[in-house]
Structure 1
Amino acid sequence: MEKSIAIQGVMCSYHHMVSNAYFGKNTKINQCLSFDFLAESLANKESDCAVMAIENSIAGSIIPNYAIIDANAFNIVGEHYLDIQHQFMVLPGQTMEEISEVHSHPMALLQCKTFLRQYPHVKLVEAEDTAVVAERIREKNLKGIAAIAGKLAAETYNLDVLAASIQTIKQNQTRFVILSNNKNKDISKSNKASIKFELDHKRGSLATILNVMSDCKLSLTKIQSLPKIEEPWRYSFFVDVTFSELEDFIKAEKLISLMATHYKVLGIYNKAVL
């Protein structure tokens, strides 16, 4: 049966590109114009899995998405890294001097701010998605408006690329997580895990947890704190670790679950190749 995948954005967006790379093209794509709608699609079982951006090598973590994963008890069952190359695209025949506005997702605008500073006459307008702007420019024949999106969007919607690879740092990668309502059935060969926990306000409590990870041969690849809205000045920690042997993670898990509160495994899966 055809698998249905929820993505943030529309066809030809970066999320769509990740879905194609991870699942193949023989899938049903459920387009969601926000991460909240994506979560609803997965939680309501309208989609079998979801593709969600979680962090970027330039702009950092997309912090609200950690809360979405946690609140919905989604399972991280995989990950994928995508090389993000932003293109400045317009209707055919338009020149830079004719462009008065550029529309794109706020993350894309942030990643291209050095390039955009060269054109102070161009107003920056935040949009819900990169590719949706390209689609809108073509469908409504919007002159004077540019989009920042991927090469696939320019090709699909027949737009001219006035400037290629305009992101400030040329090596620009985004990490996407693959979400499901179910855990991976076979984790015997898995080598990465995402966990969440909370700690009491005691000196050295986080350092003690990190020492346990080190002693159990886990490599810390990410740590992200998130404030607890209902309890001011208390934080949840979201941590990614890699390991060579699953037994090492299981050993560490037993210790950490005793030392921390609200311990939760968000997913055990295979790390992606950078």
Structure 2
Amino acid sequence: MIKTVAIQGIKGSYHHIVSQQFFETPVDTIDCLTFDRVVDSLITEECDAGIMALENSIAGSIIPNYALIDKYNLHVVGEHYLDIQHNLMALPNQSIADIEEVYSHPMALLQCKAFFRNYPHIKLIEDKDTAEVAERIQNKQLKGVGAIASTLAAEIFQLDILAKSIQTIKHNETRFAIVKRTNSDFTETKINKASIKFEANHKRGSLATILNVMSDCKLNLTKIQSLPIVETPWKYAFFVDVTFDDYSDFKKAKSLIEIMGEAFKVLGEYKNAKL
């Protein structure tokens, strides 16, 4: 049973919300200000699992996290989609006109860029974590400073919400991966999604051939992300997510891609959260 989970951020962060929603029983969280620290907590067995954002419907893939999962041989054992609603918050008894600076995670700032065009007097400053900024504002009683964070962060750190749902695109989802040191404990009958990695050689049509294998084996490709292989200029690794109705179809595809692709690896086998 998972009892302790490493999250990027602190209480009130979006990773913290995922830790509350995903697991069937309450878990303790280890607050980490970087994803590298999340991975360290897993490797040193300080926690049972980690939560890592992988992609956002507005800003796209968080590519370094794919590299971390691959480099440290972590296993994706589950996924969770969270509706991200960004809110502008500050100490009580202030208006937006009083706010001179807003700090938040770069991804949050990017997703709220259009909102702040209406407030050119506000300086936007990148920071490590959404909720950590909210905590700092409260602890240091910083007036004239705002945070972009969740309603949970505003509640925990007793800040007033000056504007709700300020992200440019109102339907804003982030996909989070739950990672462990070992692979999924699910039985094959319950597994209907997988994350894999492989490298394609430079022969003409090599990638297309592998993708055709997936199609022939009745796999539905839901995500493909290329990542440069640093040691070999102009060669790429491909991170792919597939869904399927029957695990035997995935097993057949695995055996073929292992032969056709280079450096083939299964990053995780788990339940599709988008059913």
Contact 1:187 1:269 in 2 (8 A): no
Q: Counterpart amino acid of 1:8?
A: Q
Contact 1:88 1:149 in 2 (8 A): yes
1:157 is aligned to 2:166: no
Three-state SS of the structure 1 residue aligned to 2:10 is coil
CA shift for structure 1 position 191: 0.2
Contact 1:2 1:26 in 2 (8 A): no
Matches within 5 A, 1:1-274: 3-24=3-24, 26-188=26-188, 189-273=190-274
Q: Which runs of 4+ in 1 moved over 4 A?
A: none
Contact 2:2 2:48 in 1 (8 A): no
For structure 1, the 5+ residue unaligned runs are none
CA shift for structure 1 position 2: 6.8
Three-state SS of the structure 2 residue aligned to 1:152 is helix
Three-state SS of the structure 1 residue aligned to 2:143 is coil
CA distance in 2, matches of 1:163, 1:174: 21
TM normalised by structure 2 equals: 0.98
What is the alpha-carbon root mean square deviation over aligned residues?
Answer: 1.1
- Alignment: residue pair count: 274
Three-state SS of the structure 1 residue aligned to 2:178 is strand
Contact 1:191 1:270 in 2 (8 A): yes
Contact 1:9 1:130 in 2 (8 A): yes
Three-state SS of the structure 1 residue aligned to 2:264 is strand
Three-state SS of the structure 1 residue aligned to 2:21 is helix
The superposition leaves residues 167-197 of structure 1 with CA deviations (integer Å, 9 ceiling, x where unpaired) of 0000000000000001112331200000000
Three-state SS of the structure 2 residue aligned to 1:254 is helix
Percent of aligned pairs with the same residue? 61
TM normalised by structure 1 equals: 0.98
Contact 1:75 1:179 in 2 (8 A): yes
Three-state SS of the structure 1 residue aligned to 2:18 is helix
Bigger mean CA offset, 114-123 vs 231-240: 114-123
Contact 1:77 1:183 in 2 (8 A): yes
For structure 2, the 5+ residue unaligned runs are none
